[in-house]
């Protein structure tokens, strides 16, 4: 699978979160429930100071590596963390080097395939904050394009 490398400055996300782990399909269930809650409760309308309406699914606070517990935050990029509404979480995404993978196809399958590839082939992960970006090209769930950013050592 092809990827490009980029450097990003620090930015901020506000959304909802869950603590989960990949073992026994737990993350698939937990993150699926997080997405359902996000849409059912119209969380996007509660996020102040959005940069745009792109959705970020962030994986952070890793206990060890992809096999251990971590936190998933689903939300939007915002100007700052100064105004976090009750019930929502705000996190900084640190400046870092990232490998950027592009998933194309049916959601959520195409993104899952990208993550399975990453788990099998990536050696230089930092495990600080990794994330998927669901922008305008991800609106068609049958033919979506999603970018996955993987924090790596320089």
Cβ pair 70, 59 in contact under 8 A:
yes
Write the CATH number for 84: 3.20.80.10
Is 66's pLDDT higher than 90?
Answer: no
Q: Is 125 exposed, middle or buried (0-12, 13-18, 19+ CB in 10 A)?
A: middle
Share of the chain above pLDDT 70, in %: 100
Share of the chain above pLDDT 90, in %: 90
Q: What is the pLDDT of residue 104?
A: 97
As a whole number, mean pLDDT of residues 30-58 equals 97
One-character DSSP codes across 101-144:
EEEEESTTHHHHHHHHHHHHH---B--SEEEEEE-GGGSSTTSE
Domain with 136, as residue range(s), is 3-152
Is 122's pLDDT higher than 90?
Answer: no
Q: What is the pLDDT of residue 25?
A: 87
At 94-112, the pLDDT tens digits run 999 999 999 999 999 999 9
As a whole number, mean pLDDT of residues 47-76 equals 96
Tell me how many domains the chain contains. Answer: 1
């Amino acid at each position: 699978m092809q990827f490009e490398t980029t450097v990003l400055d620090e930015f901020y996300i506000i959304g909802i979160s869950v603590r989960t782990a990949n073992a026994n399909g737990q993350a698939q269930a937990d993150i699926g429930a997080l997405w359902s809650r996000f849409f059912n409760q119209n969380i996007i309308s509660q996020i102040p100071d959005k940069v745009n309406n792109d959705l970020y699914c962030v994986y952070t606070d890793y206990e060890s590596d992809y096999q251990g517990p971590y936190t998933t935050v689903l939300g939007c990029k915002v100007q700052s963390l100064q105004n976090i509404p009750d019930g929502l979480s705000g996190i900084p995404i640190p400046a870092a080097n990232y490998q950027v993978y592009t998933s194309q196809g049916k959601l959520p399958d195409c993104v899952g395939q990208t993550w399975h590839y990453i788990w099998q082939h990536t050696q230089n992960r930092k495990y600080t904050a990794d994330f998927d970006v669901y922008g305008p090209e991800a609106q068609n769930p049958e033919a979506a394009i999603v970018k996955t950013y993987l924090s790596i050592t320089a």
